[in-house]
A and B are shown apart, each in its own frame.
Chain A
Amino acid sequence: MREIELKVNGLRRKLGVADDELLLDVLRREFGTTSVREGCGVGACGACTALVSGKSVSTCLSRAARFDGAEITTADGLPADDEVVDEFVANRAMQCGYCIPGFVMMAHELLGENPQPTDEEVVEHLEGNICRCGTYSEIHAAIKAAATRRAAKNERATA
């Protein structure tokens, strides 16, 4: 057992975790973030993706104890006007919905690093996430649309 401090979706908390406890389980149990989910447990599907300081992490492979002091964002903690979420909704990028929050977080990571990704860059970035319902075209379109919207917003802001 170790005491660590996590900041999850803006909420800072101290908590005790076992040495081998997974970040996935801690986020779900302690913070009620249902958007991180186990799909494979081996880092191969992306359903458990969260962002740690803007970088995507497979929480099913990550021991919580390593994340002392980390700032973590999950899909259910995104602001209400998040443009990635809006564009996923507008582009119908969801079927059963189980995999989708993982894709949303990957999209955030990508757009954070590369505000205007090419089609190839989108594909490269999402390659490790599986959507069994086959929502790939819609997800791809949503990310492109979110990039465009962000660019327009930034232009307005700097104008």
Chain B
Amino acid sequence: MTTVESRSSVAAVGERWARVDGRAKVRGELQYAADQPVRPCLDVAVHRSTRPHAKITAIDTSRALAAEGVVAVVTGADLYAEFGDRLMTGPAFSDQPCLAYGKVRYVGEPIAAVIAHGAKQAREAAELIEVSYDELEPVHDVDKAVLGAPFVHDELRPSIVFGDLKHLRGKRDTNVNYEYNLRKGDPSSVSGTTVSYDFWCPPTHHVPIELPFAAAWCEGERLELLATTQTPSYVRQSLADLLDLPLNRVRVRTAPLGGSFGAKMYDRLEPLVAALAWTQKMAVKITATREEAFLLTTRHGCAVAGSMTADENGMIVASTSDVRYDTGAYADVGPRITAKSGLVAPGPYKVDNVHVRSRCVYTNKPSAGPFRGFGVPQVTWAHESLADELARQLGEDPVEFRRRNMLREGDIAPVGTPMHSADFLGSLDAVTEAIEWGTPFVKQEGTLVRGRGVAVGMKAVLTPTISNAVVQLNQDGSASLLISTIDMGQGSDTIMAQIAAEVLCLGEGDVRVVQADTDVTPYDTITAGSRSTYHTGNAVRLAAENMRDKLVELAAERFGVVATDIKLTSDGLVSAQTQENVSVSELLHGHFGARGTTLTAEANFSTSWQPYDHENGLSPQVTEHWFAGAAAVQLTVDTATGRVHIEHLAVAGDVGRAINPAMVEQQLSGAAIMGIGHALFDQMVFDEGQIVNGTLLDYQLPSIKDMPDKLTPIIIESPHRTGPFGAKGVGETTIIPLAPAIANAVRDATGVRITQLPLTPERILTALEEQS
């Protein structure tokens, strides 16, 4: 018998492990979906609507069919004949057909698909399709759409995914597909100093650099699909519903994503390729061009009419918000955004009198869906501009004003839920300290005026959701982790490996995460809303703990001691009583009597909530946990050109516990850089429903030139009692307060309060002119 010195904890959690596949990514050898070897596929291209709102009276496909290389042309009407109402998909409302039939609802909506040998042939033939329309009056703007006709849909069609929308089925004559109301106290009953403004955020686009891709084919009586999706489990269900197949006859495979930020979720290209593959019995693929990607989904444009009132002690006593999300022609997950973001419209403040009215509104535009922040940046833009302006009008320091009013541990948020592990104060203090808030600075140099601004963000994690994990421990001591969380750059493959490794005392590189494949990896609600670290992370932790228990039992049997006597260390299993030890490899070999065997353990982790009251919007537990973040900025505005230059941007996010601090910093910085775009120039521009800047030549994105002179990401760790090792997610946290922080700094520098995004040079110059 040998005695081992036990290194009982191999540090995995909290370590800056290198990103899985880092070298393959740098060399470009990592295979994304479109790089994967699949069977030869025919190419699909679609013919798109040129009208924002019209009845389709006739479609002539004959010229397209006769074109070289064309194998088939399929219209929405053809698919409707096959699938009936099942053709309509969508996470909240079954309102979106993969090819329009009867009616088109936005410019760019797909009407017919061409299947051809080669993408070029398919695209050229798609141009030859002729559609006759009977034009209907369109509605382009949320404020018009809420008033009444014209209606984008004749009738609301809630899907079966969200049971709580069922009561809306059959509702007619409205463009408002969902309304969330939060009512607490009576804002009209209080007096004091009030500020109120109308705010606007335009629709923006995610622009992940990888383009959306989907391929589908039949494998006997099954449908197989490989796609750029961050929701494989959802897509499997959606396609099974569409094709009326049991779940085990639909297989959804994924690949690492070249970014998504919400763009590659729910029903995108998948229903179309699945319907074509299934009806035509052909292997087909579609790669969206960048122009087409702009039409697939957007971030909600959003109007907020808001007010905030403070009493003579500088306490916020009332807050009101009228929020209108422009969801475009199809609801997608807009109703969820409307509610989940509406409930944080008052911001991270203690307020007794609150009224929020948050509505999801159809218009004749491309459909809006989830985008990093899930609608919260839009309402934060309002509440953080209001809080700032209120402080300034009271003659107070905006930081002190926020500190005094901020929700703290145990406080009840306006929505009725007590706060835990949401360190707004720590985040605020960290960012303001970083930019040296309160120390004097040179206010003006020639035409340059300098200012500082701050903003705080609050978001609820998506709840309830379900995650599963399976750990396979191989006889040699290496492990495979089966989860359906998608690594799209956030680093989940690395941190999930760290969580499993921490429990099982494994080292860097010992745990491999298996690519999500619904035939292989277990159900996971979605990879989104910064939920995976907490939810899937907990499932992984539990599965690894189950595995540890199994190993301990096997060792106890082997040593003839009780299980409580056994400890798992990085050197294997050791008995405290006898000092006997065995490596995992030997233990498993002894147990199975063979090399290369596997031991399997699994776990589920589900969260629950208490649905908000439909009358007043309140809930004692509206979410599993909260995200807190803050941004502070020092910048200059050139009063001659209107240009903003960021000297220092500090961002902080409370992540509970950083499983991998390096990746947390990248998430904090990445979200902040995306937020700079939203604050200063990012926007989709429409003219009569037609997108006019839908190429990367015209749509501006932050480049290395837009980086602040200094960017400081700060990790705040306020452990969550039920997080895996205290951890929560982070992906969205710092995009939330970014735009108001910049706008507040512009206000500080210039004295002008701008209430529309983005803060383009023209907009700033106009505001400066109006002021003088």
Contacts and interface: CB of A to CB of B under 8 A. Distances in A.
Given A47-B209, A138-B666, 12 more contacts: A37-B210, A74-B28, A76-B27, A88-B26, A89-B22, A94-B19, A94-B22, A97-B30, A99-B209, A99-B258, A104-B26, A126-B703
Nearest to A104: B26
B35 interface: yes
Given A74-B28, A94-B25, A40 B696 contact: yes
Interface stretch (B246-254, B435-443, B619-627, B668-676): B668-676
A85 interface: yes
In the A-B complex, the 3 residue pairs with the smallest Cβ-Cβ separation, listed nearest first, are A35-B28, A97-B25, A98-B258
A134 B674 contact: yes
A36 B34 CA distance: 12
Interface in A33-61: 33-45, 47
Interface in A117-158: 122-123, 126-140
Contact of B26 (A36, A45, A75, A140): A75
A96 B488 contact: yes
Given A40-B695, A96-B210, A133-B489, A78 B27 contact: yes
A49 B210 CA distance: 14
B663 to A, nearest CB: 8
A26 interface: no
Given A41-B290, A134-B673, A95 B210 contact: no
A6 interface: no
B394 interface: no
B707 A89 contact: no
A24 interface: no
A100 interface: yes
Contacts of A39: 209-211, 290, 696
B767 interface: no
B259 interface: yes
B696 A100 contact: no
A129 B30 CA distance: 19
Contacts of A85: 23, 26-27
B594 interface: no
A97 B489 contact: yes
Contacts of B22: 89, 92, 94, 97
Given A44-B697, A99-B209, A130-B701, A137 B26 contact: no
Contact of A127 (B24, B26, B257, B704): B704
Interface of A: 33-45, 47, 74-76, 78, 85, 88-89, 92-101, 104, 122-123, 126-140
B229 to A, nearest CB: 14
A136 B649 CA distance: 15
Contacts of B207: 130, 132
A137 B707 contact: yes
Given A36-B28, A40-B290, A100-B28, A95 B491 contact: yes
Contacts of B491: 95
A127 B705 contact: yes
Nearest to B257: A96
B611 interface: no
Contacts of B711: 137
Interface string B377-408: 00000000000000000000000000000000
Contacts of B287: 38
Given A38-B211, A39-B290, A98 B32 contact: yes
A133 B695 contact: no
Contacts of B507: none
